[in-house]
Amino acid sequence: MQKNDAAISFPVIAAAVNGDVDAINAVLKRYEGYIARLSTRMLYDSDGNSYMVVDEEMRRRLETKLITKILKFKVA
């Protein structure tokens, strides 16, 4: 995430907590880069060359965990 990214507004958070699919997608979009960075792995080919790739399974698991936490979040 970059420092100049705007925070997610309260109405979007409240809608996401209530299960609004568009709001949940907005939250996922906001953290898309961070999740990709967390799920990036170094892979090596048969010649020993290294490649940075996004582990898609790990990315999906992190997104699922975020969605689960959004739906369990308590809005006062």
pLDDT digits (tens, 9 = 90+) for 18-71: 999 999 999 999 999 999 999 999 999 999 999 999 999 999 999 999 999 999
pTM: 0.83
Predicted pLDDT at 43: 93
**Does residue 1 form part of some domain?**
no
Tell me the residue range of the domain where 58 lies: 10-71
**Does residue 22 form part of some domain?**
yes
The count of structural domains within the chain is 1
**Does residue 40 form part of some domain?**
yes
With a cut of 80, say whether residue 76 has pLDDT above it. Answer: no
**Does residue 4 form part of some domain?**
no
CA–CA separation, 28 and 5 (whole Å): 14
**Does residue 5 form part of some domain?**
no
Q: Which amino acid is at 9?
A: S
CA–CA separation, 46 and 52 (whole Å): 15
**Does residue 37 form part of some domain?**
yes
Band of residue 2 on the pLDDT scale cut at 50, 70, 90: low
**Does residue 50 form part of some domain?**
yes
**Does residue 65 form part of some domain?**
yes
